[in-house]
Structure 1
């Protein structure tokens, strides 16, 4: 079965009908809110919202299954390495020590360290659904038209549009080349040794690179023949005007970001960390 990672499939629902500019502003606003704060309460609040938005978008888990596996592996490695290299950082941040158990004098497990590391994991886990929503529910051409309207050069906007479009094309090309090579006897299964499998994958990457270069040249020639870049401005076939729901969504994203600042400077007394140990 071919992967649907980064594939845009149009649907008729609230999330898909938002402007590409709106989704970009919301993604940046919510991401900044999560990255700025270390208050586990606020981060969990944004995480719940991101899960709700993902459900509202109608996206299927199989579309992000591969990415989810990579994220889980990354979070697990990050969790372990954080403890290995900074086992006492939580106690330094919160200024107290509530020991649970110890391995030796350096490696002790404290409530403060667990809170700090769980907060870090929650920060990353909150942003991933937002990123997937943005990538999988935004028409690349419509998104390019939206950011061009707010002042971004249309050449840069179009380059970004081509990049977003090319992700699924590259994945499909890789799968097609892999199937063609396997029909010629190239074994990519676990029956082969790891070194042999890596070598076989490289045999797929080489034609993929050449096919990609050919496609780039083809697109570049087509754009030149159509006079792309000759004028300072251009029109967009799929430009979508901002509606009331778009302004409401951007206002909500701004409110959530300001809420993160308020939690820091008013609720937590200027500290980015929520300290339940005092």
Structure 2
């Protein structure tokens, strides 16, 4: 059976970190990554992300489908960059080490490959951190942490519901897909890609209606329990910030400081190995 992508309870050092700390890590490191195209910095963040993956004991089978989609997206993105800006790398790095000429204005150079590689590294630097946050953060604990630092409990609860809803959507998608296949609408790997894409649209409407029904049920349940009438609420799960949380926040801020320092060191956002 396919596994749902969402929070998985495990006893790991990453799971023990407060959800707010992990959210700040994702936001701050993402900002640091967006500020620079320094390959050394990006590779360092990628390595740290992979180490955190190991510490969180996240299995590849749990993110296999998502990883395939991300890989396809990055491949398409790289092709589009080359089609619309075949000389972008040459412009950025101010040199051209031509590998071979393809057709018309399209020539492949080391500078263009290096530029596209940096773009791909940016995705690999940020996306694993987002996956770690989603798969290691208990929605209830995260909502309590947000409320603890001053976020309205209504907003915090909405965030918790969103995180809990991700696996439900995946489960509904699989159930509807299997039902449609039983009716002769093939969305399996046996069908051609074009036909699978066309048949997938037959799943979207039932999935939307199922989601709306669930939203209606949740809304009615919350109204019957008097949600939102009081200014404050108590939480079943709450976790105060500890030393490890402050350490993660400090490391995230340090990543931004390093990114800013590299901007001045490289006299811009781009690290140029072709000088």
TM-score w.r.t. length of structure 2: 0.92
Paired residue for 1:159?
Answer: 158
Distance 1:69 1:194, change over 3 A: closer
1:1-278 alignment, distance < 5 Å = 1-6=1-6, 8-104=7-103, 106-183=105-182, 186-189=185-188, 197=196, 200-265=199-264, 267-269=265-267, 271-278=268-275
Question: Using the alignment, how far apart are the partners of 2:61 and 2:133 within structure 1?
Answer: 16
Cα separation, partners in 2 of 1:249 and 1:189, compared to 1, 3 Å: closer
Q: Distance in 2 between matches of 1:109 and 1:196?
A: 34
* Cα distance in structure 1, aligned partners of 2:58 and 2:45: 19
SS at match of 1:144: helix
- Residues in 2 aligned to 1:74 and 1:17: alpha-carbon distance in whole angstroms: 32
Cα distance, 1:268 vs structure 2: 1.3
Q: 1:167 deviation in Å? A: 1.0
Equivalent position SS for 2:244: helix
Over 3 Å counting, the alpha-carbon distance change for 1:260 and 1:193 in structure 2 is closer
Change in Cα spacing, 1:102 to 1:175, as seen in structure 2 (3 Å) is same
Q: Tell me the distance in 2 between the aligned counterparts of 1:135 and 1:109.
A: 38
The C-alpha deviation readout for 1:249-272, integer Å capped at 9, x for no partner, is 11111111211111112x213x11
Offset at 1:243? 0.7
Cα RMSD after superposing both structures: 2.0
Between 1:163-172 and 1:228-237, the stretch displaced more is 228-237
Q: Contact between 2:30 and 2:126, CA under 8 Å: does it hold in 1?
A: yes
The gaps in structure 2 that reach 5 residues or longer are none
The alpha-carbon distance between structure 1 residues 25 and 180, as it changes in their structure 2 partners (threshold 3 A), is: same
- Alpha-carbon spacing, 1:196–1:272, altered in 2? closer, same or farther (3 Å): closer
Q: How many residue pairs end up in the alignment? A: 275
CA contact (8 A) 2:18 2:240 kept: yes
Q: In 1, Cα distance between the equivalents of 2:182 and 2:251?
A: 52
The separation in 2 between residues aligned to 1:39 and 1:155, in whole angstroms, is 40
Give, in angstroms, the shift of residue 185 of structure 1.
Answer: 5.0
- Secondary structure at the aligned position of 1:223 is classed as helix
Q: Secondary structure at the match of 1:102?
A: strand
What runs of 5+ residues in structure 1 fail to find an aligned partner?
none
TM-score, structure 1 as length reference: 0.91
